[in-house]
């Protein structure tokens, strides 16, 4: 099968630091090639992947740190959408299916509704986007957790495929060091201030790492900066892959105080590959990723979580690593998407036959 993968223009693949969706796309490209398929990436031109790249922009165009630059940024993104549409149209004669990962980019798949396609929803469905999706509810959506489907039951979900990476890139650490960690965005959705407060209250060192963008700039100044003065807190900034793996693999627990309906949590998966349990607020997809009491703890809030930290530190790290590697890996994810492609192709063929019979 020839598969056109549409990425957002924001981050090159593979990402140098932050980039969850881009990591998923990278692993899917590798999986498709291993399984004998031919992926074609429509994404930033500075992507360095082992497949044909059709550049939708010469270089990745990331969100500006200054809100004043947003107008110019949005104008550039709109230009890229027009370019992507034209490039995809030219590709149609040589591909079998389109797989869009452009949820945050907002690339409109309606003009390609008559062609076999699937759309992965990488982000949450929020109020301001509901009308956008209801106008496109007939398209073929794939969720990344079953919980995600409950937020938008009117959409045409043709299946669910959990994210997966290559577990071999992560070491299993049986004896961790004496610290907990937070890894992710510094904003009010991810709530890292709660992770820091928990560690301080429990008297445990914490290392925090992640990106700060224009949405989290004020949050970081107000909620995080004052806490960084505490001797138990170590701020590492935004990490590259090797540094990230070192952080999560050696932590005795990964803290995930999610404040929104999170459709998936890649850092939970990455930590689990290393044997590191996750203490998380029970929202969104968390119960699908964490086996409560065995691979982590699900709590109502981090006040409760303070009392569960000891239990997390005593969990069987070998079991955590073994379970996550079996249930969530890129090979399994790829097989799931190949099933979705076949489903979309079959459905499209049926519609074509029905249309021809009616004329």
Q: Tens digit of pLDDT for each residue in 230-271?
A: 999 999 999 999 999 999 999 999 999 999 999 999 999 999
pLDDT at residue 5, as a whole number: 98
pLDDT, tens digit, for every residue of 59-113? 999 877 777 778 898 899 999 999 999 999 999 999 999 999 987 678 999 999 9
pLDDT band for position 358 (cuts 50, 70, 90): low
SS3 55: strand
Among the residue ranges 56-70, 266-280, 325-339, the one predicted with the least confidence is 56-70
On whether both 41 and 63 belong to a single domain, the answer is yes
On whether both 25 and 49 belong to a single domain, the answer is yes
Separation between Cα atoms, residue 167 and residue 182, nearest integer Å: 20
- Asked if pLDDT for residue 127 goes beyond 90, the answer is no
Place of tokens 């079991």: 319
On whether both 233 and 345 belong to a single domain, the answer is no
| Number of structural domains found in the chain | 2
On whether both 232 and 109 belong to a single domain, the answer is no
pLDDT at residue 104, as a whole number: 67
Burial degree of 114 (CB within 10 A; 0-12, 13-18, 19+):
exposed
pLDDT band for position 352 (cuts 50, 70, 90): low
Region of 210 on the Ramachandran plot (φ > 0 left; ψ -120 to 50 alpha; else beta)? left
On whether both 347 and 323 belong to a single domain, the answer is no
pLDDT at residue 69, as a whole number: 79
pTM more than 0.95: no
On whether both 186 and 234 belong to a single domain, the answer is yes
- Asked if pLDDT for residue 171 goes beyond 70, the answer is yes
What separation, in Å, do the N-terminal and C-terminal C-alpha atoms of the chain show?
30
On whether both 202 and 151 belong to a single domain, the answer is no
Buried-state track 209-218, b at ≥16 Cβ within 10 A, e below 16: bbbbebebee
On whether both 124 and 147 belong to a single domain, the answer is yes
Q: Residue 151: give the domain boundaries.
A: 2-165+329-358
- Asked if pLDDT for residue 357 goes beyond 70, the answer is no
On whether both 73 and 211 belong to a single domain, the answer is no
Burial degree of 342 (CB within 10 A; 0-12, 13-18, 19+):
middle
Q: H or E segment at 2?
A: strand 2-6
pLDDT at residue 131, as a whole number: 87
In whole numbers, what is the pLDDT of the chain averaged over residues? Answer: 93
DSSP 255: E
On whether both 79 and 183 belong to a single domain, the answer is no
> What ranges make up the beta strands (E) of 83-224?
97-100, 117-120, 141-143, 157-160, 180-183, 206-209
Among the residue ranges 205-214, 232-241, 274-283, 296-305, the one predicted with the least confidence is 205-214
pLDDT band for position 53 (cuts 50, 70, 90): very high
Q: Contact at 8 Å (CB) between 281 and 256?
A: yes
């Amino acid at each position: 099968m020839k598969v056109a993968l549409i990425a957002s223009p924001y981050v090159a693949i593979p990402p140098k630091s932050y980039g969850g969706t881009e990591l998923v796309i990278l692993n899917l490209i590798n999986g498709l090639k291993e399984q004998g398929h031919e992926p074609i990436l429509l994404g930033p031109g500075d992507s360095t992947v082992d497949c044909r790249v059709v550049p939708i922009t010469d270089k990745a165009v990331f969100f500006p740190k200054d809100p004043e630059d947003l107008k110019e940024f949005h104008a550039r993104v709109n230009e890229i959408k027009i370019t992507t549409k034209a490039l995809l149209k030219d590709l149609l004669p040589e591909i079998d299916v389109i797989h869009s990962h452009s949820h945050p980019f907002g690339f409109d798949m309606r003009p390609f509704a008559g062609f076999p396609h699937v759309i992965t929803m990488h982000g949450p469905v929020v109020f301001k986007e509901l009308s956008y999706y209801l106008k496109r509810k007939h398209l073929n959506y794939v969720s990344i957790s079953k919980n995600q489907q409950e937020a938008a039951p009117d959409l045409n979900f043709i299946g669910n495929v959990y994210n997966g990476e290559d577990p071999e890139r992560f070491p299993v650490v049986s004896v961790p060091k004496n610290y907990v960690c937070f890894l992710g965005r510094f904003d009010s959705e991810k709530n890292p201030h709660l992770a820091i407060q928990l560690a301080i209250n429990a008297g445990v060192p914490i290392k925090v790492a992640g990106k700060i963008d224009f949405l989290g700039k004020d949050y970081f100044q107000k909620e995080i900066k004052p806490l960084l003065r505490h001797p138990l807190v170590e701020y590492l900034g935004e990490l590259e892959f090797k540094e990230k793996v070192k952080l999560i693999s050696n932590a005795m627990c990964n803290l995930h105080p999610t404040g929104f309906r999170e459709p998936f949590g890649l850092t939970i998966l990455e930590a689990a590959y290393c044997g590191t349990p996750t203490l998380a607020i029970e929202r969104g997809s968390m119960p699908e990723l964490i086996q409560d009491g065995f691979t982590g703890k699900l709590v109502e809030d981090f006040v409760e979580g303070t009392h569960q930290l000891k239990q997390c530190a005593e969990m069987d790290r070998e079991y955590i690593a073994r379970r996550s590697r079996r249930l969530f890996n890129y090979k399994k994810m790829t097989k799931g998407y190949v099933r979705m492609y076949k489903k979309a192709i079959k459905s499209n063929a049926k519609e074509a036959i029905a249309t021809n019979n009616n004329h």
